[in-house]
Amino acid sequence: MSLYMDGDFLRIFVSDNGSGIDLSELPRTTLMAGYSTKHSAGWGFTLLLKTMDRIFLSTGPRGTTIVLEINLVDTHEKVATNNITALKEERVHYA
């Protein structure tokens, strides 16, 4: 697992070197709540889809990599901050 910051985004890279996700199972495995080909509850991807801003998935016979992306600055907070900055800049006069 690796973590990287890119602007306002935190990216989390998770990789394994297993046999990958069978392409015929990929839609069900990633999009169907409670579905699992293993002995698990099958809620992992469902929870990721509800909590992450973006998810990138790459899978093949040499393993699977998932990149999870989280925006650390709330959109409303960012807009408010930009508006305050703009108001402050309007009040500054340069001679």
**Per-residue pLDDT at 80:** 58
Residue 83 phi, psi (nearest 5): -65, -40
| The pTM of the whole model exceeds 0.75 | no
pLDDT in tens, 50-66: 889 999 999 999 999 99
User: Could you give the 3-state DSSP secondary structure of residue 48?
Assistant: helix
User: Any idea what the CATH number is for the domain that residue 61 is in?
Assistant: 3.30.565.10
User: How many domains are there within the chain?
Assistant: 1
Where in the sequence is the domain holding 39, given as residue range(s)? 2-91
Asked if 71 contacts 53 with a C-beta cutoff of 8 angstroms, the reply is yes
